[in-house]
Structure 1
Amino acid sequence: MPRKTFFTVSFFLLLTFSAISARSQKKKFPNIIVILADDMGYSDIGCFGGDARTPNLDEMAGKGLKMTHFYNASRCCPTRASLLTGLFQHQAGVGDMMNTRPEPAYQGYLNRNCVTIAEALKPAGYNTFMAGKWHVGQAPENWPLKRGFDRYYGLIDGAASYFDLYPYRPGQKLTVALDDQPVTPGKGYYSTDAYTDYAMKFIQENEESRKPFFLYLAYQAPHWPLHALPGDIARYRGKFMKGWDRLREERFARMQKSGIIKPGTTLSSRDPHVRDWNTLTEEEKEQWDERMAVYAAMIDRMDQNIGRLRAKLRELGEEDNTVIMFLSDNGASSESIKGSGFLPGIIEASKRPASDPSSFTAYGFEGANVSNTPFRLFKHWEYEGGTATPFIAYGPGLVKKGLVSEQPAHIIDLMSTCLDLAHTPYPATSKGNKIKATEGLSLVPLFQGRKWKGHDALFFEHEGNRAVRQGRWKLVSQFPENKWYLYDIEADRSEKTDLSEKYPAKVMELAALYTSWAARAEVIPFEQLVNRKSDKFEN
């Protein structure tokens, strides 16, 4: 070989090995993505029984891990506070909503005695990105860049039009921000697409850094208002004219067939707020079909965007070194757009067809009852319909294929899981502040198909609604009744048969566990918090 050729080849090989070495160094720790849906019911995605087309989530579930007993905090911002910090929401400062209250556990934004996943991953060399709905602090000093994220684009507040940015409550100001500056959405804006666009931009730019990344992608979809794109809506028109009873029965049958629901579980009764389908006029049936078509289209579009994100990972050669976790922030929402809480113009907009971009509507009890098949109740309550979420973990080479777990797990576990993946410890202090010990457990053993010790018990409280889950038993109380009901979740996941009188000792045992937890988690009885003139509401 000529001397010049030898040195040329040697130089080329050196560059190649250097590039491989740099790539290997970058891949020492995996990228981590957490995708959060908003107000999506337990059975809304295809692999959990739903009617929406979700091929990307279905593939991820089939090639990864499905958890069928995963729990959230039953409401938007409490869940986000708990997910981000690995604490129960009260410990993080968001014990209720984003309401400014003097009690530290209910101050309405993340406190300084907790860290976010982004803050905890920074010492491990991660770049940290977020796109989507923040909802854990509206003041600029509490925005994502102040809580460990390097880049951010999204909605600071709890809800908004998907096409524009205008207030829907009296005295309200809504903010979409890029990093730490408010921005105005441009022409052609649709929030689900925009959040994904920026998420892809952030991870593309990250390639130059040779660092692993953490991405928190918090979609608005499918939270009200019902807003979708015409092409997506068209796929679903007419598919819901069977009526809610038959749709629930069909979902339930699919869930049983796929093993999402165990044999012996029965379908909960139609919610008492929901009429007999046969009493509706043809016009009312068509209006409901349209609302459901738009709702399904929103989930469809979210799945399409998850597909776009996965394609970007493949393009960058990152898919095999990325763990993606998907879940919903609470059960389906029975809320409607009516009453003094909304501006008059918004009330009028709620009467327009759901497919009209200028409308501002929701699908109410009727839609939520379908979305939460087979459970009872909804977002806000601590029954399964409020707290149970589908959970998917996916990552070729990092999450074993075809796993299903029925072990109870919770959003508090995501912090420990992310830190375990990054091989970095949970901090005892941060910026001179003592950090509360995490409440969660790493899910990595489950990702690998190994034995997982799980939780001794899980606890829930939101606006006076309470619950504790221990093994097969679940104790539930609804505010303001404040009476404990006992259910065998293994035999009765739909919580139809109260066993409190049959097993009073078990009620006392679980109630004592709840009381001890509530004191440790800084829960204040809700009747002590409501109807005070001193409260200042941010949202």
Structure 2
Amino acid sequence: MKLKSALHLSILLLLSATVLRAQKANKAVKKPNIIIILADDMGYSDIGCFGSTTQTPNLDGMAKTGLVMTQFYNASRCCPSRASLLTGLYQHQAGVGDMVNTRKEPAYQGYLNNNCVTIAEVLKGSGYNTYMAGKWHVGTAPDKWPVKRGFDHHFGLIDGAGSYFDPTNPYRPNQHLTVALDDKPYTPEKGFYATDAYAGHAVQYIKDNQKTGKPFFLYMAFTAPHWPLHALPQDIAKYKGKYMAGWDKLREERFNRMKQLGIINKTTQLSPRDKNVPDWNSLTEAEKIAWDDKMAVYAAMVDRMDQNIGRIRQALKETGQDQNTVIMFLSDNGASSESIKGPGFTPEVTAANLKPASDPSSFTAYGFTGANVSNTPLTLFKHWVYEGGIATPFIVSYPAVIKAHRQSTQPAHLVDLMATCVDLAGAKYPATYKGNTITPTEGLSLMPVIQYKKWEGHNALFFEHEGNRAVRQGPWKLVSQYPDNQWQLYNIEQDRSEQNNLAVQNPDKVKELETLYQSWANRIGVIPFEKLSKGKGDL
């Protein structure tokens, strides 16, 4: 009898332990998958739900049933933004204070340092599989590639830009460009188109991950719509002729749509046409047609990116993971006013810049004229830290939690993505990693905003890029442009396009914010741009 009781007890204990293990396993599986989708050089008003007429049904659908944050900020340039996004630090703290070029100053060394961790490194330690597709741009040496910084797999461009059809073909003298597959260089095949190829690998990662029983983190870093303007003919055809009304009319139409959508409030003014953009009516008919062609190709690039976001969403649905996957979408900086000319480009590329944008052998950009439309209604562009350089659309889709459209005007920043991912994953941000002391994160989890709860937010947000400086605290923003270095003060809640400089009327507020900025700059290692050593490498 005692033997039977003991046997029953043993069986019960065994069953209980099995059930407990199963419950723990189920709990682990229920951790959400996390996807961060990053557009490259996309302007504030370039997708449908932020005012554009470009067809972006997938992003619009995510916004319609998700969270939209209208005052989300990046770091104004490709590689500093990526360093900040990946690490939850300001870019200087991560070692990418300027571009991916070699400098002797640690905050500007040009690649991620060992005193930061990437989201992939943190989540991998919390049971996640980690994948990346697309542009890296935070370390070009093989020992700095994504698979060395926590990603199980990566397919994409290591460098900052390149042809969408032939991405390893250099566009600058003495340049070497690399597409990598995990830890090996990859030679693109005939028929390659970057946006499709990078998303194709992302889709495969999602499908293959199903077999592992583990949640995943995917960093989907598109190169679109960064120059050169390269798109597929069927996408270009949708937009040909749609820009012949001219930039002034297009900006006005976008501005009105943005107000109707609630992206900007009724007190916002449309910034004047940029001083580098001529009157539309001063152009010849041939010049108008050439600009329409550029804009059609640019819109086609955004359209194709959205189509590929659709492929990713469909893969989630087919594998039954759509409800429990968080997707965050944003851009690394505002629209780019850069052009393809000067000694920084090869003679072949300079010649290709003169071809129509819709010609696949061209290599061109839309410059100030296109960027001024893309950043409607904001001031300036990528590189500067006015709103046109640092404002991005930000959309969060999380069907299991967010059941209907929500919109927030609270200021938030790239540094918040690390804390948000750590929160979602139930992970722990480390004090040390691989024997190195890790800089504490600067970000705050956005989970309260996602869950529609009160979020205290930041006391202040800070910006510095190549001498351009800004600090945002509450409604106030102090900003200056290098090399003028004259502080301007704006009430962003009333004046999003920074048209009414209030510095003279509010000298105490200027001094207060300047002191705040300087304290931050000293803490994180900002060096005045004119005092930086000359960098070597990828500019």
Q: Same fold (TM over 0.5)?
A: yes
Equivalent residue number for residue 9 of structure 1:
none
Deviation at 1:99, TM superposition (A): 1.2
Equivalent residue number for residue 315 of structure 1:
318
Match of 2:37 among 35, 38, 49: 35
Decide whether the 8 Å contact of 1:168 with 1:343 is kept in 2: yes
2:308 equivalent to 1:305? yes
- Mapping 1:322-337, distance limit 5 Å: 322-337=325-340
Indicate the SS of the match to 1:319: coil
Match of 1:484 among 484, 487, 491: 487
- Report the AA paired with residue 527 of structure 2: I
Decide whether the 8 Å contact of 2:30 with 2:324 is kept in 1: no
Q: How far apart, in 2, do the equivalents of 1:401 and 1:101 lie?
A: 47
Deviation at 1:26, TM superposition (A): 5.1
2:97 equivalent to 1:105? no
Q: Spell out, residue by residue over 1:298-353, the C-alpha distance to the aligned partner (whole angstroms, 9 max, x if none).
A: 00000000001000000000001100000000000000000000001000000011
Equivalent residue number for residue 277 of structure 1:
280
2:358 equivalent to 1:359? no
Equivalent residue number for residue 137 of structure 1:
139
Q: How far apart, in 1, do the equivalents of 2:343 and 2:536 lie?
A: 17
Indicate the SS of the match to 2:214: coil
Deviation at 1:124, TM superposition (A): 0.8
- Mapping 1:17-166, distance limit 5 Å: 24-25=26-27, 27-164=29-166, 165-166=168-169
Decide whether the 8 Å contact of 1:323 with 1:398 is kept in 2: no
Match of 2:192 among 189, 210, 214: 189
Decide whether the 8 Å contact of 1:93 with 1:105 is kept in 2: yes
- Report the AA paired with residue 174 of structure 1: L
Q: How far apart, in 2, do the equivalents of 1:489 and 1:207 lie?
A: 45
- Mapping 1:418-457, distance limit 5 Å: 418-457=421-460
Q: Unaligned 5+ residue runs, structure 2?
A: 1-18
Match of 1:349 among 329, 348, 352: 352
Percent of aligned pairs with the same amino acid: 68
Q: Tell me: CA distance 1:430–1:124, structure 2 relative to 1, closer, same or farther (3 Å).
A: same
Indicate the SS of the match to 1:102: coil
- Report the AA paired with residue 355 of structure 1: S
> TM-score, normalized by length of structure 1?
0.95
Q: How far apart, in 1, do the equivalents of 2:25 and 2:93 lie?
A: 39
Q: How far apart, in 1, do the equivalents of 2:279 and 2:114 lie?
A: 50
- Report the AA paired with residue 252 of structure 1: F
Deviation at 1:435, TM superposition (A): 0.1
Deviation at 1:403, TM superposition (A): 0.6
Q: Spell out, residue by residue over 1:57-76, the C-alpha distance to the aligned partner (whole angstroms, 9 max, x if none).
A: 00000100000000000000
Indicate the SS of the match to 2:125: helix
> TM-score, normalized by length of structure 2?
0.95
Decide whether the 8 Å contact of 1:25 with 1:210 is kept in 2: no
Equivalent residue number for residue 8 of structure 1:
none
Deviation at 1:529, TM superposition (A): 1.1
Decide whether the 8 Å contact of 1:23 with 1:210 is kept in 2: no
Decide whether the 8 Å contact of 1:456 with 1:471 is kept in 2: yes
Q: Spell out, residue by residue over 1:451-487, the C-alpha distance to the aligned partner (whole angstroms, 9 max, x if none).
A: 0010000000000000000000000010000110000
Q: How far apart, in 1, do the equivalents of 2:417 and 2:321 lie?
A: 21
Q: How far apart, in 2, do the equivalents of 1:248 and 1:204 lie?
A: 41
Indicate the SS of the match to 1:105: helix
Structure 1 range deviating more: 32-41 or 518-527: 518-527
Q: Spell out, residue by residue over 1:378-413, the C-alpha distance to the aligned partner (whole angstroms, 9 max, x if none).
A: 000000000000000001013342110000000000
Q: Unaligned 5+ residue runs, structure 1?
A: 1-16
Deviation at 1:287, TM superposition (A): 0.2
Indicate the SS of the match to 1:94: coil
Deviation at 1:122, TM superposition (A): 1.1
Deviation at 1:264, TM superposition (A): 1.0
Q: Spell out, residue by residue over 1:157-187, the C-alpha distance to the aligned partner (whole angstroms, 9 max, x if none).
A: 0000000130000100000000000010001
Equivalent residue number for residue 537 of structure 2:
537
Match of 2:172 among 169, 173, 181: 169
Q: How far apart, in 2, do the equivalents of 1:84 and 1:180 lie?
A: 19
Indicate the SS of the match to 1:332: coil
Indicate the SS of the match to 1:427: coil
Match of 1:369 among 353, 372, 379: 372
- Mapping 1:230-245, distance limit 5 Å: 230-245=233-248
Deviation at 1:425, TM superposition (A): 1.4
Equivalent residue number for residue 467 of structure 1:
470
2:519 equivalent to 1:497? no
Q: How far apart, in 2, do the equivalents of 1:29 and 1:89 lie?
A: 29
- Report the AA paired with residue 242 of structure 2: K
Deviation at 1:217, TM superposition (A): 0.2
- Report the AA paired with residue 135 of structure 2: K
Q: How far apart, in 1, do the equivalents of 2:507 and 2:23 lie?
A: 63
Indicate the SS of the match to 2:323: helix
Count of residue pairs brought into register by the alignment: 520
Q: Tell me: CA distance 1:52–1:294, structure 2 relative to 1, closer, same or farther (3 Å).
A: same
- Mapping 1:381-396, distance limit 5 Å: 381-396=384-399
Decide whether the 8 Å contact of 2:147 with 2:153 is kept in 1: yes
Decide whether the 8 Å contact of 1:323 with 1:399 is kept in 2: no
Q: How far apart, in 2, do the equivalents of 1:361 and 1:395 lie?
A: 37
Deviation at 1:537, TM superposition (A): 2.1
Match of 2:523 among 520, 525, 529: 520
Equivalent residue number for residue 7 of structure 2:
none
Decide whether the 8 Å contact of 1:334 with 1:379 is kept in 2: yes
- Report the AA paired with residue 233 of structure 1: I
- Report the AA paired with residue 354 of structure 2: K
Deviation at 1:22, TM superposition (A): 9.6
Deviation at 1:538, TM superposition (A): 2.9
Indicate the SS of the match to 1:124: coil
Q: How far apart, in 2, do the equivalents of 1:260 and 1:183 lie?
A: 41
Indicate the SS of the match to 1:320: coil
Q: How far apart, in 2, do the equivalents of 1:239 and 1:135 lie?
A: 34
Equivalent residue number for residue 5 of structure 1:
none
Deviation at 1:123, TM superposition (A): 1.4
Q: How far apart, in 1, do the equivalents of 2:28 and 2:477 lie?
A: 44
